[in-house]
């Protein structure tokens, strides 16, 4: 960090710097869906502040990762630099269908259409949206 070290950073920026997400927009969507918790509390705002020593839990696909923030970072650097921003005390936890996490139902294709059935109709799309939007 530079001489005037920041005491905190936005959560979406930190997730991006630490390479949990490819873009800040994806980090914001992850947060808005409730897939990130900070110090045990579910966070839904990207502007939440992350400080050194905070415990962060994120559901990324079929995996739940729990990390402790070691540094805030100044930029999105190489992967080796990003791994220095956090400490992962336990290996990532794989989620299964019994867990009620968001990633559980997105891990594999659940909705299948018959081959040659064509594009989904408007009714089908609404059913799909309803399925994925429910917590």
Task: List the chain domain ranges.
Answer: 9-95
More confident residue, 79 or 100: 79
Q: What pLDDT is stored for residue 97 in this prediction?
A: 57
0.95 exceeded by pTM: no
Q: What pLDDT is stored for residue 95 in this prediction?
A: 85
Average pLDDT over residues 116-121: 86
Task: Compute how many other C-beta atoms are within 10 angstroms of the C-beta atom of residue 1.
Answer: 10
**Which fold, 9-95?**
3.10.290
Q: What pLDDT is stored for residue 56 in this prediction?
A: 94
The rounded distance, in Å, linking the Cα atoms of 58 and 62 is 11
More confident residue, 86 or 129: 86
Beta bridge partners of 87: 68
Q: By percentage, how much of the chain surpasses pLDDT 70?
A: 83
83 pLDDT above the threshold of 80: yes
């Amino acid at each position: 960090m530079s001489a005037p070290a920041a005491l905190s950073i936005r959560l979406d920026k930190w997730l991006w710097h630490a390479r949990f997400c490819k873009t800040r927009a994806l980090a914001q969507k992850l947060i808005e869906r409730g897939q990130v918790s900070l110090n045990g509390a579910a966070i839904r705002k990207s502007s939440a502040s992350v400080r050194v020593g905070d415990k962060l839990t994120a559901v990324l696909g079929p995996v739940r990762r729990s990390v402790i923030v070691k540094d805030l970072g100044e930029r999105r650097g190489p992967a080796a630099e990003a791994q220095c921003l956090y400490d992962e005390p336990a290996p990532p936890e794989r989620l299964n269908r019994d867990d009620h996490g968001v990633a559980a139902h997105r891990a594999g294709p659940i909705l299948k259409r018959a081959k040659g059935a064509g594009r989904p109709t408007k009714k089908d799309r609404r059913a799909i949206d309803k399925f994925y939007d429910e917590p």
